[in-house]
Structures are given as structure tokens and as C-alpha cells.
């Protein structure tokens, strides 16, 4: 990374869970912890641990110069609730096939 911007990714065994209302959207004991300069720690959850059947792809895309282009998924009452990087940049390739939510419970 440049200009003092760093991203580190580590494998965790921490229990993470994403709940919205009565729905458990994701639950994992194998998230990736992504630490990025100026941002809170983000938990990237493997696709196999996310209820993708409940999520609808969104038309929203954003670009990060360090991670690449993000795609988003929504619930009917929660637009762009989750994002992922289908083709992440080489430096963060580990987050491919992982999803990140704004609100994550940890234990």
C-alpha cells in the first residue's frame, strides 16, 4: 500500500454472527479480520457461512483503490446491507468469496 495506507488480513476463529430482525444472515467461526488504515476492523465471512438465499444482488458498486470494485447485496428492507469483492486486487486476494456486513456480533 502507499502513502502510509496499510491493510492486513488475518484468519480468525472468533465466533461472528449477523442478525437482522429474526433472521440469522451469517454465522461463522472462520472470518477473516481486515484491518485498514482509518477504518474499523471488518469481518469478512466465507460465502459458505452466509445465507445468500436471503440476499438479492444490488446495482450498487463502489471502488476502493486498495481493494478493487465492491458489489453489494440487499434485503427487502435493507439496501446494500452486505458487500464483497468478486475480483479483489492481488494484495487482498484472500477476501475473494467472502462477504462483509456493517453490523456484526462477536463472541
- Where residue 30 sits, what CATH number does that domain have? 2.170.150.40
Range of the domain at 89: 7-106
Q: Which ranges of the chain have pLDDT less than 50?
A: 1
In a domain, 93, yes or no: yes
CB 103 within 8 A of CB 81: no
In a domain, 2, yes or no: no
Predicted model pTM: 0.93
% of the chain exceeding 70 in pLDDT: 98
% of the chain exceeding 90 in pLDDT: 89
Q: Which of 56, 57, 66 is nearest to 5 (CA)?
A: 66
Query: What pLDDT sits at residue 36?
Result: 96
**How many domains, in total, are found in the chain?**
1
Rounded to 5°, the CA angle 80-95-40 comes to 65
In a domain, 1, yes or no: no
Amino acid at each position: 500500500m502507499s502513502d502510509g495506507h496499510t491493510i492486513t488480513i488475518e484468519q480468525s476463529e472468533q465466533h461472528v454472527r449477523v442478525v437482522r430482525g429474526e433472521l440469522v444472515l451469517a454465522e461463522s467461526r472462520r472470518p477473516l479480520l481486515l484491518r485498514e488504515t482509518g477504518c474499523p476492523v471488518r469481518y469478512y465471512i466465507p460465502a459458505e457461512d452466509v445465507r445468500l438465499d436471503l440476499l438479492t444482488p444490488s446495482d450498487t458498486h463502489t471502488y476502493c483503490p486498495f481493494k478493487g470494485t465492491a458489489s453489494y447485496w440487499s434485503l427487502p428492507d435493507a439496501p446494500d446491507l452486505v458487500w464483497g469483492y468478486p475480483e479483489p486486487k492481488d494484495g487482498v486476494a484472500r477476501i475473494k468469496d467472502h462477504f462483509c456486513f456493517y453490523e456484526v456480533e462477536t463472541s
